[in-house]
Structure 1
Amino acid sequence: MSNIFKGLLAGLAATLVLSALMVMKTMMGVMPELDLPKMIASMMGSADTPMLGWAVHFMIGIVGYGLAMALLNDRLPGASPTVHGVIIGIVGWLLMMVMVMPIAGAGLFGMNMGLMAPMMTLVLHIVFGAVLGWVYGKLLSNTSGAALGHA
């Protein structure tokens, strides 16, 4: 299995975890205005089509972050794929805060929604990145173990 495919699988796993957390957050009534798939759909001119936002959310998580993990894992400082995933998650959060949030009308760092928006999205990106890196690392170690006859 190629490292790119492992990255895509890790991106899928991390996006599933993140999506579950986002749905639970909304179901608990915590910052319902922070609905990223809805924001994405609105930015694309389809505010009435939240499924489009979810599809783009999954594409970003799987393809964008999955490829970043596969391509950057060996280039980032340290030896832990989990730490590398967290670094990638934090960089993604920063890009979201200075590019996506202002475009979506939420202001720089989403401050139009209050201080909780950047804090919550940072925590979610750290969790996302940790899952991304951990799964990627497990996929790397499982393949190397299988190659050595240790699977």
Structure 2
Amino acid sequence: MKWIKSAFSGLAGSFVMFIIMMVGIHATGFAPFNTPPSAAFLHQLGLNIGPLPLIVHFGYGAFWSVVLYYFFKESVSIKEGIYLALALWGVMMLILSPIIGWGFFGFGGADELAADAPLYLESGPKYLIMTLILHLIYGAIIGWGNAQIGTSE
């Protein structure tokens, strides 16, 4: 049962990230990209099909929350969640962003695409800052959520 609760913590963190990205893309225009990174990654692989980007985004979030709980069990805290989130952000910057075509840390020339292109990425530090903040929020949520698992039951 604790693993399921941990997965729900990951789903909650992923949901908050998703809402912030959607508001940034569709409501405020503040997001530096037109497509969330998980969907952009699948788009680049030719797999941006139906609900698959959402399944990947939420599945990834749930998976890493369970990994966090697996390693720390009842001693997990917000601090460990944030450390994991920073590691995941680093993987995104060093591996996923270049695969998408956004380059290391988002400096890969995707700003030369048409502004309405699916893989367009605004140049500058906005991508770094926004994705870092999103990951820190996710990490705090899974750290707090997983810490609550040990105190319940």
Question: TM-score range with shorter-chain normalisation?
Answer: 0.7 to 0.9
Report the counterpart of residue 39 of structure 2 in structure 1.
Answer: 38
**% of aligned pairs identical?**
25
Q: TM-score, normalised by structure 2?
A: 0.80
Distance 1:111 1:73 in 2: 35
Q: TM-score, normalised by structure 1?
A: 0.80
Post-superposition Cα deviations, 1:45-74, rounded to whole Å, max 9, x if no partner, equal 134x363212111111112x1222112225
Report the counterpart of residue 5 of structure 1 in structure 2.
Answer: 4
State yes or no: 1:121 paired with 2:100: no
Distance 1:50 1:107 in 2: 26
Distance 1:100 1:39 in 2: 10
Distance 2:38 2:139 in 1: 19
The 5 Å alignment of 1:1-151 reads 1-2=1-2, 4-26=3-25, 27-30=27-30, 31-33=32-34, 35-47=36-48, 49=49, 51-63=51-63, 65-74=64-73, 81-112=77-108, 113-143=123-153
Assess if the C-alpha contact under 8 Å between 2:68 and 2:76 holds in 1: no
**Secondary structure at the residue paired with 1:46?**
coil
Assess if the C-alpha contact under 8 Å between 1:12 and 1:61 holds in 2: yes
Assess if the C-alpha contact under 8 Å between 1:41 and 1:50 holds in 2: no
Distance 1:138 1:67 in 2: 13
In structure 1, runs of 5+ residues without a counterpart are 144-151
Distance 1:13 1:5 in 2: 12
Distance 2:78 2:138 in 1: 10
- Number of equivalent positions: 137
> Could you say which structure has the greater relative contact order, defined with CA pairs below 8 angstroms and 6 or more residues apart?
2
What RMSD, in angstroms, separates the aligned Cα atoms of the two structures?
2.0
In structure 2, runs of 5+ residues without a counterpart are 109-122
CA deviation after TM superposition for structure 1 residue 139, in Å? 2.2
The residue type equivalent to 2:22 in the other structure is V
The residue type equivalent to 2:131 in the other structure is T
